[in-house]
Structure 1
Amino acid sequence: MSQDLYLDYHHRDLKEHQRLLISNIRALMERYGDKYWLEVDAGERFPEEFVREYLELGLAGLMIPEEYGGAGYGVQEAALVMEEISACGGTSYHVRAMYYPIDIIVKHGSKQLKEKYLPRIAKGELRLFAFAVTEPEAGSDTARISTYAKREGDRYIINGRKIFISRVRESDLMFLVARTSPYNPEKRYDGISLFLVDLREAKGIEARKIKVMALGPVYELAIENLEVPAENLVGEEGRGFRHLLGALNAERIVIAGELVGATRYLIRRAVEYASKRIVFGKPIGSYQGVQFPISSTYIELLAADEILHRAARLYDEGAESRIVGLYTNAAKYYATEVAWKAANTAMDTFGGYGYAWETGIERKLREIRLYKVAPINQNLILAYIGHSILGLPRSYEP
């Protein structure tokens, strides 16, 4: 199964600029094959070389309007790029995190903020890779964050802790979620505000690296008297959670793109290996115990792909929020389940070699495992579908 066959069959309705994006990504990935990603994984390091070239192609500006130096595309293009990087064996995790905070800045940021930062982000001169939401006592329940921003004159003074925040030391800018008024159980999501922190100038952030099983670097942040100019408030003070909701939908879409791409990669690797590995005088792919799991995973890939691209299209079209929420959550959920199945199927197909680090199969299994629990737990998505879409009784209070 070739990548070209997949593209022609499943994406036959792509626009010309989308096909060009795919072509550019494939050309880039020819220089960053499996060996490179294995070395990055072994060194537990940030893929600086890949990221630098990625930014030089202007891809940071995918979702930035043309008036600010970007391409003016939507989340469909961002998801497509993430998918293709992963389908070529790469890890798009390191660059995808900039697209949803950019989306918030474009939709809710002041003109002054957009003029100051978006052109330089689009050119790749500034890196916005850090998105600080999660705290030790507030994961999925964002309303319970305790990091606090107090307004003092023309700036905010921020104190608190964040955990599992990726790429902080590798970024120039960080999107930070904090409270600007105390938690109110009657209005849980009021009082949350969004800030764009310039890490090049920031004082008062201590970042401790956390060793993780894959997809590092990840940090725990201790924030003490961090000063952020009031002009770097994104959107309206106290209404940040409402601004955040749209970005979380975009996040689910680009993650689903990454996972659909990873599934394509794993199926291709499994098919190639099963076609040449000889056991008992035959290629193992001829045995139904090997062939059928690959085939069923491929069928599920087709479904995941359809949900993903419908979700992305609905988001870009500005469809009704409930419908967008349904499809973006469904896309993230199902793409995760299919990718996890693909990783285990590839491991089974490769047998002992799948367990070997050098094949790169176990690397993908470790990477995909993250999405069973983050950035939103799979069961929380099912709960959302149950109570918000199907009208079932709630298991928790929002």
Structure 2
Amino acid sequence: MTVGKATASTVIESEEQRDLRAAVARLGARHGAEHERAALWAEAGRLGYLGVNLPEEYGGGGRGIAELSIVLEELGAAGCPLLLLVVSPAICGTVIARFGTEEQKRRWLPGLADGTASMAFGITEPDAGSNAHRITTTARRGADGGWTLNGRKVFVSGVDIADATLIVGRTEDARTGRLKPCLFVVPRDARGFGRSLIDMELHAVEKQFELTLDDVRLPADALVGDEDAGLQQLFAGLNPERIMTAAFAIGMGRHALGKAVAYAGQRAVWDTPIGAHQAVAHPLAQAHIELELARLMMQKAARLYDAGEDAAAGEAANMAKYAAGEACVRTVDQAVQTLGGNGLTREYGLGRLITASRVARIAPVSREMILNYVSHQSLGLPKSY
């Protein structure tokens, strides 16, 4: 029985990527589902896994999102996903590495790479949802060149354990008067930067917060990148976010599938393992196929992104996130059904995945918005909004 540790197809991966996958799988196996998050994060950082996608000159591994997605997938398959991998090195690290000043790179990238620092990401707002053009968090430039931020954000992961949050705000274009998106690094202890815990029915170490920015004053160098290229820089971070969410979903699905296959092979009724019955075996086989197909799209998206093909990567990243989210939800559901009553016991740890798997459908962008994207951008159909 190979599901649970060897179901990751490595045919199209390089030898180095296969070695990385095996090494991270061993790390995940040592920590397991009952892991202590801080200990796992620290060890992954020391081993160079957290910053495998960041530039070598700033302490990273010099690889890409393809390698970072392997790290998250394998940890998820072992039952110990590090959700902050999606935002700290993948979104924030990528944006700073591509668009930050030399000072910003030296300030943040080494810590993001070795795990001694981390960064959250705040974009979603109560009234904006997936529409980045309706973001109301605003940034005003002062006479001294600094910035003052005001606004609200919701569903921001890990703010309490992150050193800073990369906030998406909007500044006024001096030529047109229109608001344009820009990115700002807001330290956790900045005056006027408040957070409140959102009470979630979700079992995760990384908690969700609502943020308030009440006249948060920042120095001029808090702005990341070019003020006039904010939208381009924003999407440079959102594509890795979708790829990493796909990795998160695939890893979770593999974890659930591994438990279901092991149970179906051992649980005997009338002296026959239940896995011998096609009504049990076929849905599990289908789940395995769907997870493998989702991984192929994720790998395509990661390769396109790492090759600098942002436009093509955008389409593939959205498709990968959609496919992985759907496969994860169906796999978890089938795993619970395979175990019957045991699927809802703490002993097997599958019940809590029912809620967690929905995250891959909902965040960071809903499957409905992805279908909108594909129908408009890929198929050329007209918009309804």
TM-score band by shorter chain is: over 0.9
Which of 123, 132, 147 lines up with 1:156 in the alignment? 147
Which of 272, 277, 289 lines up with 1:287 in the alignment? 277
3-state secondary structure, aligned to 1:211? coil
Tell me how far apart the structure 1 counterparts of residues 12 and 360 of structure 2 sit (CA, whole Å). 29
Deviates more, 1:57-66 or 1:136-145: 57-66
Determine the structure 1 residue equivalent to 2:96.
Answer: 105
Determine the structure 2 residue equivalent to 1:378.
Answer: 367
Tell me how far apart the structure 1 counterparts of residues 223 and 260 of structure 2 sit (CA, whole Å). 48
- The 8 Å contact of residues 158 and 224 in structure 1, kept in 2 or not, is answered as yes
How does the TM-score come out when normalised to structure 1?
Answer: 0.90
- The 8 Å contact of residues 32 and 50 in structure 1, kept in 2 or not, is answered as yes
- The 8 Å contact of residues 179 and 238 in structure 1, kept in 2 or not, is answered as no
3-state secondary structure, aligned to 2:54? coil
| Pair 1:172 & 2:163 matched | yes
Note closer, same or farther for the CA distance 1:161–1:378 as it changes in structure 2 (3 Å cut): same
Tell me how far apart the structure 1 counterparts of residues 91 and 215 of structure 2 sit (CA, whole Å). 27
3-state secondary structure, aligned to 2:115? coil
Determine the structure 2 residue equivalent to 1:223.
Answer: 213
CA offset at residue 370 of structure 1? 1.4
Tell me how far apart the structure 2 counterparts of residues 94 and 363 of structure 1 sit (CA, whole Å). 19
3-state secondary structure, aligned to 2:347? helix
CA offset at residue 235 of structure 1? 1.2
CA offset at residue 58 of structure 1? 2.6
Q: Which amino acid aligns with 1:77?
A: E
Instruction: String of CA shifts for 1:164-215, please: whole Å, max 9, x gaps.
Output: 1111110112111111128x9x998x5111011222x411111111111223
| Pair 1:207 & 2:208 matched | no
How does the TM-score come out when normalised to structure 2?
Answer: 0.93
Determine the structure 1 residue equivalent to 2:338.
Answer: 349
Determine the structure 2 residue equivalent to 1:195.
Answer: 184
- The 8 Å contact of residues 58 and 110 in structure 2, kept in 1 or not, is answered as yes
Q: Which amino acid aligns with 2:200?
A: V
Instruction: String of CA shifts for 1:135-184, please: whole Å, max 9, x gaps.
Output: 111110111111111111131111111111111110112111111128x9
* Total equivalences in the alignment: 380
3-state secondary structure, aligned to 1:291? helix
Determine the structure 1 residue equivalent to 2:135.
Answer: 145
Deviates more, 1:277-286 or 1:249-258: 277-286
Deviates more, 1:119-128 or 1:228-237: 119-128
Residue pairs, 1:230-249, within 5 angstroms: 230-249=220-239
Q: Which amino acid aligns with 1:279?
A: V
Tell me how far apart the structure 2 counterparts of residues 20 and 102 of structure 1 sit (CA, whole Å). 24
Q: CA RMSD in A?
A: 2.1
Note closer, same or farther for the CA distance 1:187–1:255 as it changes in structure 2 (3 Å cut): farther
Deviates more, 1:334-343 or 1:238-247: 238-247
Q: Percent identity?
A: 35
Deviates more, 1:114-123 or 1:335-344: 114-123
Which of 293, 314, 319 lines up with 1:330 in the alignment? 319
Determine the structure 1 residue equivalent to 2:10.
Answer: 11
CA offset at residue 218 of structure 1? 0.8
CA offset at residue 123 of structure 1? 3.0
3-state secondary structure, aligned to 2:61? coil
Determine the structure 2 residue equivalent to 1:117.
Answer: 108
